[in-house]
Amino acid sequence: MNPVSGKWLVGLMAVALASSAYAQTGKQIIKSGSRALSSNAAEMSILKTMDNWYGIGAALKKSPAAASIERAVKQQLPVKETREHAFRNSGFFDPIMATPIRELQINLIHPTTEQVQQAVNEYRSLMRDLAPVRKEVNAKLLYQSLPNDKWVSFPPQERRRLISELAALEGRVEKLRRVVFSNDAALEKVGKWIDEALKQINPYYVPAQRTSARTDSRSFNREEFFLKYPDVSKVPQGVTAPKRELPANIRVAVLNDQTDVLDMYRIWNAQKRLGEGWSVTTYKDTRDLINAIQSGNVYDLIITDLTVPGGGGYYLVDEVRSMGLNMPIIGCSMYTIDKLNAEKMFEQGFDGYIYGDDMFEEIAGSVSWVGYIKNYYYYKALHGWSR
């Protein structure tokens, strides 16, 4: 090889390598190559030229302009790859370990053995049925999150099938949340996984749609929720305040495990101290009322204590709302209003609350009770509530 052309070639190689982060390594490689080109005095000239080019490259690398370019390149990394990396490290693919059955906490008031066993069976069944769906979805989404040359999407038919299966699992999770404490770690992870899976597969999925049991347009108002006596001065100008009265022919279901309280309701009903044409049916166990409703019994108003055997008032509300029923449900117990999370009760599906106090100790207590119920129907008429 002509020493001159060899010198020119080495110079070009030095320029290319000197501008990179591996310039030092490149310098060593080029020196080795240059010695192979010639064993005469031209070697020293080649090395000197290469050293000059390396010095220029190093200087350029340290220059403000080069640093600016380097920062710009780093800032313009592919957005898709960055998002994929974040998704792979989000915990979505982490294993979900079911809570040991002996540690599973049932969120029911005085549940029966049958209710506990049913909750345990549903929990086991959910975890068992989740496994194959999660395996399939994870495999596909993990492949999509890798920096592949080809993007493989879900075929429409497969997408519809997975959306249907995930939605069914989501419904089962929501049902279990009514009987298992919501802070169960495994159930919480399953819910989050389903949310994210549906978000990845279904572009129209909106998790926020299921955060509230309310299907009406009513907004929370503390005074109205506790059925306070209405302030007529707050009625909007131009709006006629409705009469504070009870509608006729209302079928009432009362859930309470206190015999004396239920007896008082029966007395009020027998003495026609309630509204015209009103009828009252009493229950001491949550399951009995739920079974009655599922069997076709129709009620226009439900009054429920919060702590009742067979599940309790909160469980009752969850079950009734899950049936799609829209009758008003009003809590009534000895818990003072400062002990309650009224807004949470409202979002769960309660429509009001009455502090029982001593109104059930004598027949005249019906006056106070009827007053609260009148307030509910007053607000309903004023605002046009659907319940």
How confident is the model at residue 229, as a pLDDT?
95
How confident is the model at residue 83, as a pLDDT?
55
Instruction: Give the separation between CA 310 and CA 291, rounded to whole angstroms.
Output: 11
Place of tokens 């979900």: 96
Instruction: Give the separation between CA 37 and CA 31, rounded to whole angstroms.
Output: 10
State the pLDDT confidence band at 18, using cuts at 50, 70 and 90.
Answer: very low
Do 128 and 328 meet the contact criterion of CB atoms below 8 Å apart?
A: no
At 277-316, the pLDDT tens digits run 999 999 999 999 999 999 999 999 999 999 999 999 999 9
How far is residue 103 CA from its own chain's centroid? 23
pLDDT at residue 207 above 80? no
pLDDT at residue 235 above 50? yes
Instruction: Give the separation between CA 96 and CA 201, rounded to whole angstroms.
Output: 20
State the pLDDT confidence band at 343, using cuts at 50, 70 and 90.
Answer: very high
CATH code of 222-383, in short, is 3.40.50.2300
How confident is the model at residue 284, as a pLDDT?
96
Do 212 and 347 meet the contact criterion of CB atoms below 8 Å apart?
A: yes
By C-alpha distance, which of 362, 373, 318 is closest to 107? 318
Residue with more model confidence, 267 or 7: 267
Mean pLDDT of the chain: 80
Q: Report the percentage of the chain scoring pLDDT > 70.
A: 72
Biggest CA pair distance of the chain: 125
Residue type, 135: K
Instruction: Give the separation between CA 275 and CA 374, rounded to whole angstroms.
Output: 10
Q: Which of 39-48, 147-156, 212-221 has the lowest mean pLDDT?
A: 39-48
At 147-193, the pLDDT tens digits run 654 555 678 888 889 999 998 999 899 888 888 876 789 999 999 99
Instruction: Give the separation between CA 386 and CA 373, rounded to whole angstroms.
Output: 16
For the segment 16-21, the average pLDDT, to the nearest whole number, is: 44
Instruction: Give the separation between CA 316 and CA 333, rounded to whole angstroms.
Output: 15
How confident is the model at residue 84, as a pLDDT?
56
Do 177 and 169 meet the contact criterion of CB atoms below 8 Å apart?
A: no
pLDDT at residue 29 above 50? no
How confident is the model at residue 193, as a pLDDT?
93
Residue with more model confidence, 187 or 73: 187
3-class SS of residue 107: coil
Pair of tokens at residue 307: 């702590």
At 110-133, the pLDDT tens digits run 888 888 999 999 999 999 999 999
List CB contacts of 83: < 8 A, sequence separation 6 or more: none
At 361-384, the pLDDT tens digits run 999 999 999 999 999 999 999 999
For the segment 336-358, the average pLDDT, to the nearest whole number, is: 93
Helix (H) or strand (E) holding 301: strand 301-304
For the segment 65-86, the average pLDDT, to the nearest whole number, is: 51
| Residue 219: other Cβ atoms inside 10 A | 9
How confident is the model at residue 357, as a pLDDT?
84
pLDDT at residue 43 above 80? no
Tell me the angle at which helices 42-62 and 64-75 cross, rounded to the nearest 10 degrees: 60
pLDDT at residue 15 above 50? no
378-386 contacts, C-beta under 8 A, 24 or more apart:
378/230, 378/242, 378/243, 378/244, 379/224, 379/227, 379/230, 380/328, 381/242, 381/243, 382/230, 382/235, 382/239, 382/241, 382/242, 383/218, 385/216, 385/218, 386/216, 386/217, 386/218, 386/326
Report CA-CA distances (Å) from 279 to 120, 276, 304. Answer: 38, 9, 16
pLDDT at residue 203 above 90? no
Strand order in the sheet with 251-255: 279-283, 251-255, 301-304, 329-333, 352-355
pLDDT at residue 40 above 50? no
pLDDT at residue 51 above 90? no
How confident is the model at residue 373, as a pLDDT?
98
